[in-house]
Amino acid sequence: MTNDIDRAEPAAPKGHGFAADVLDGLSRAEKRLSCLYFYDAAGSELFDEITRLPDYYPTRVETDILAANGEEMLDGADEDSALVEFGSGSSRKTELLLERAPRLALYAPIDVCASALEKARARLSARFPHLRVCPIVADFSRPAPLPAALADRRRIGFFPGSTIGNFTPDEARALLLAMRVLLGPGGRLIVGVDLKKDPSRLIAAYNDAHGVTAAFNLNLLARINRELGGGFDLSGFCHQAIYDARAGRIEMRLVSRRRQTAKIGGRDFAFSRGEAIHTEDCYKYGVDEFRVTASDAGWTPGRVWTDAEALFSVHELRA
């Protein structure tokens, strides 16, 4: 089968580039760095390690839900359908759906990482010879024209991992609206959403006993040192994960253990003892709460699949 890489030219990237975003974020009264920058090579390896941790349930539980219900989720997918994945990464979870939709003819993974797309394309084309794989190098959160390969097909979107939790509720509504436009009339979206639960369970998932999430968070400072010639002393910062119940989100931070200064690109950034750099928000939803959010974005909520402990949910939304 032909496998063409469609390079949908995304609008301007979300940030202004790593260096500019870092200098801007650390210049703010409340310092912050974007979670987008977690995923350099070292960060991606640490995240893969996180997904295998006993404390970090989302990946394991979502995978079980997809394996148990994938056939139902993609019911009706046939030669005229296309599976479009937003932020596809390694496409590992996608295989669970592709195994259960043998008539599906086209898979379009969207990701900013061309090398990850190429690896996934090669692996999936070998495993599913009948499947046309059309990787799209783009930032799924930015408006981009509908790729030609998708134009005449019934589109099913796939957005797993509760990555939607990295967006504020307002941003999530806007993203779901943009996905509905891209997937078009008759479109469907299968989206993974981590559920609200006992805060202690959430904190353990984002501050695991093995210290892998701490290393993942601190790697952001190591990346600044590596790529921007930064002068962070990583031992001078500690990882922190808190749950803001009012906002319904986990907040990840790097907290300065002492009064210190870090030099980046000739500029000094001062930190007082206890001062935090905000690095990530991970929003959690109730099942009905997410259905309302999806409805506000013009979707019709459909079936919902959860695990027995109601830790995680996968929602079907219909355009």
Q: Does 87 engage in binding with ligand AVJ (CB under 6 A)?
A: no
Contacts of 146 (CB under 8 A, 6+ apart): 182, 184
Q: Does 139 engage in binding with ligand AVJ (CB under 6 A)?
A: no
Query: CA–CA separation, 119 vs 123, rounded Å?
Result: 6
Q: Out of 165, 169, 187, 230, which residue is the one contacting ligand AVJ (CB under 6 A)?
A: 165
Q: Reduce the secondary structure of 254-283 to three states and give it as a string.
A: EEECCCEEEEECCEEEEECCCCEEEEEEEE
Here's the x/- map for ligand AVJ, 185-224, by CB under 6 A: it reads as ---------------------x------x-----------
Q: Which residue is nearest to ligand AVJ (CB)?
A: 282
Runs of H (alpha helix) within 143-192: 169-183
Q: How far is the CB of 106 from ligand AVJ (least distance, A)?
A: 26
Q: How far is the CB of 52 from ligand AVJ (least distance, A)?
A: 12
Contacts of 104 (CB under 8 A, 6+ apart): 74, 77, 78, 81, 82, 83, 98, 131
Q: Does 58 engage in binding with ligand AVJ (CB under 6 A)?
A: yes
Taking contact as CB under 6 A, which single stretch among the options 125-133, 148-156, 163-171, 224-232 is the one that binds ligand AVJ?
163-171
Residues pairing with 65 in the sheet: none
Q: Out of 282, 311, 314, 319, which residue is the one contacting ligand AVJ (CB under 6 A)?
A: 282
Residues pairing with 133 in the sheet: 107
Q: Out of 163, 207, 219, 313, which residue is the one contacting ligand AVJ (CB under 6 A)?
A: 163
Q: Does 280 engage in binding with ligand AVJ (CB under 6 A)?
A: yes
Question: At 315, which helix (H) or strand (E)?
Answer: strand 312-318
Contact residues: ligand AVJ, CB under 6 A:
50, 58, 161-163, 165-166, 206, 213, 280, 282
